[in-house]
Structure formats: structure tokens, C-alpha cells
Chains A and B, each alone.
Chain A
């Protein structure tokens, strides 16, 4: 299948927002999405962006049933490992269902790797849900390894009331 991979622009935020919701639905948690198109525009395309995006686009004649030509995306940002230094974190990777199995996901991930390496990163990190078998298999085939399984690291979060409480010095 013919497709192009390119850096996301401000104009892509509408489609990125659409696909974020589609991915959240796939992960069965769409009610948790609080970010709108406007937030993405502000947070990703101002002077100090909090994330970067890449888009997979197909030509007009291969558009989706609903008329979308932007059919996949990845959101990533730079992080830091106190052991190894610069790293890249792939926050989202998504391809619309009717465009899967054509190498688009792999191409998106390849682009993130290229950009990460160019920025001096030595590792790419991301999280996957343990029930997402097809994604787990895809990633393991690309040479990834499961840090949670192998090293026993758990992802933790402090949010909402707990975060406010902590900020006020409470225990």
C-alpha cells in the first residue's frame, strides 16, 4: 500500500484528536480522554512543545470509508535515563483498523527510532497493556523487551487529590 510518513503539523491536530479517541476506544477507556484538539495545538505546537507527532497519510484514492487520508500517528517525547542518558518515549502508536497489516505501524515506529537516534538517544521506551496480545507480539518481533517482566519495574502514578495533598506537605 502507498503511504507517506511525515512530521505532524498544527493542521493535523483535528485528525490526531480523532485517532486518539479511536485508540482510547480500542483500549476500552475512551471516557478518560480529557484532552481536546485545542489542547493538542497548544501543547504540541508552541515554542516549547511537550510532545512531537508523526503522521501516516495515504493518497486520495486510498482514503478510508469516512474519507480520512490521515490513517495513523505516533506521539513521542524525549526523556532521560539516569543510567544511560537521552531516551525517547513513544506515548501513542496507532493505525486505523482498515489500514493495518500493511507496514504502516512499523514505518511509524521506524521513524520515531530514526528521530530518537538522531537526537542522541540510546533507548526507546513505551508501555503496553498486558491483555493487548497482538501489540505485545508486534513489539517483541521488533526486538523490544518487557522491562516490567524482566526487571520487575512497576509503573506508578500519583494524581488528583493525592498529588494536591503531597504538594501541601501532607502524609
Chain B
């Protein structure tokens, strides 16, 4: 059983956060989509008006050497959003534990911490997206009472990328 510690991310964690972001993207087969840099993460997460918050899971020195060589082995990135019908929400952007450290309850503990943060901040709900092909994660979330809004209510996520954003913003 791994001894681990959950704590708020600090600027020094940025290289590990980026490493784990890339590992999660690789797991989702989207590794080439990550263009974020350490500089972006530092500026956007630890400035005056952070765009995101992060919690990290780390393990003591003795354990890290024997398994992966890293002490930061899991993380979650989140921010607060708003639903004009029900108010504040917590949005879970990324949530990941390194393969070698799964099955020890670290993921559950991270989710518990986030849910606690949501409740403390008077958020009525926690939202996130999951790829429909990611059966293991969907089951993990459904076991904890999550519902699939795309299936149940027909919500589809849409996106406009920068090129079309520029076109749209230039229209009078």
C-alpha cells in the first residue's frame, strides 16, 4: 500500500503537472494535441487571477526511487464555472494517477478532496467530460453517482478554434 500525500500544487510542481498532462493525453490517444508549456502553466495557474487550480499526489522519497523515479504521481486540475440555473459549479478538467500507483485509493482520495472543495465552495455540482471509449473511467465515475448528460439529456459539446474565433470576432 503506497503512502501518499495530497496537497495544493505549488509553482515548483509545474514540470510534473505538464508531464502528467502529457501522460493523460497519451492515455486518451491525444498526445500530439498538447501544446501547453511550463511557462503557460506557471503564468496561468500561479498569477494574480489563476485560470485553474491543481492538487497533486506525491509519495515519499524511498518509494519514488523504487517505482518510477518521480515523487509527484497524480494530479487533478479544476476551476469554478457557473450555471445560471443552479449557480456555482466545480469543473474537473484533468484527473490522473500514474499506472504504477493505481489501485491504492489515490484516485478516490483525490476525488473526495475535490468533492469536498466543491461542497465547501457552495457548488451544487461537479462537471467533467469523458471520452465514450474510456469504459474504465466511465464505470469509475458512474459507481460514484455521476450521470452522463450527453446520453440522458442530449447535451453536445461544441467548440470554435482560434482561426474561426478570429473570423467571428472581426465580423461587424
A-B interaction: yes
The interface-forming segment of B3-11, B63-71, B158-166 is B158-166
Closest chain A CB from B119 CB (angstroms) = 5
B interface bracket (residues with beta carbon within 8 Å of A): 35 or more
With contacts A114-B169, A166-B112 known, is A79 near B129, CB below 8 A? no
From B40, B126, B158, B169, A159 is in contact (CB under 8 Å) with B126
Determine whether B146 belongs to the interface, using a CB cutoff of 8 Å to chain A.
yes
- Give every chain A residue within 8 A of B52 (Cβ-Cβ): 80
Q: A35-B85, A154-B148 are in contact. List 17 more A-B contacts (CB 8 A).
A: A35-B84, A43-B88, A77-B81, A80-B52, A82-B36, A83-B34, A113-B160, A128-B156, A129-B154, A129-B156, A139-B158, A143-B167, A144-B164, A147-B159, A152-B131, A156-B149, A163-B125
B127 adjacent to A79 (CB under 8 Å): no
Task: Indicate whether A122 reaches chain B with its CB closer than 8 angstroms.
Answer: yes
The 3 closest A-B CB pairs, nearest first, are: A162-B145, A143-B164, A159-B125
Q: Which of B51, B109, B112, B166 has most chain A Cβ within 10 Å?
A: B51
Residue in B24, B150, B161 whose beta carbon sits within 8 Å of that of A155 in the complex: B150
- Decide if the interface of chain A is mainly helix, strand, loop or mixed: mixed
Q: Does A156 lie within 8 Å of B128, measured CB to CB?
A: yes
Residues of A within 8 A of B (CB-CB), count: 76
Q: Say yes or no: is A24 at the interface (Cβ < 8 Å to chain B).
A: yes
- Measured CB to CB, the nearest residue on chain B to A126 is B158
Q: A50-B82, A156-B146 are in contact. Are A117 and B166 (CB under 8 A)?
A: yes
Chain A residue at minimum C-beta to C-beta distance from B158: A144
For the complex, what is the distance from the CA of A117 to the CA of B168, rounded to whole Å?
11
Measured in the bound complex, the distance between the Cα atoms of B115 and A169 in whole Å is 9
Q: Pick the most buried of A77, A151, A163: most chain B CB atoms within 10 A of its CB.
A: A163
A78 interface hit (Cβ, 8 Å): yes
Report whether A110 and B171 are in contact in the complex, using a CB–CB cutoff of 8 Å. yes
CB <8 Å contact, B155 and A127: yes
Q: In the complex, what distance in Å separates the CA atom of A171 from the CA atom of B21?
A: 26
Contact A165–B145 (Cβ < 8 Å): yes
CB-contacts of A64-106 with B (<8 A): 75, 77-86, 89, 91-92, 106
Residues of A within 8 A of B166 (CB): 113, 117
From A35, A85, A143, A153, B130 is in contact (CB under 8 Å) with: A153
21 contacts between A and B (CB under 8 A): A35-B83, A75-B82, A80-B44, A82-B77, A91-B81, A110-B169, A122-B161, A125-B160, A128-B155, A143-B163, A145-B158, A146-B158, A147-B157, A153-B132, A154-B130, A154-B148, A155-B148, A156-B128, A163-B119, A166-B126, A167-B119
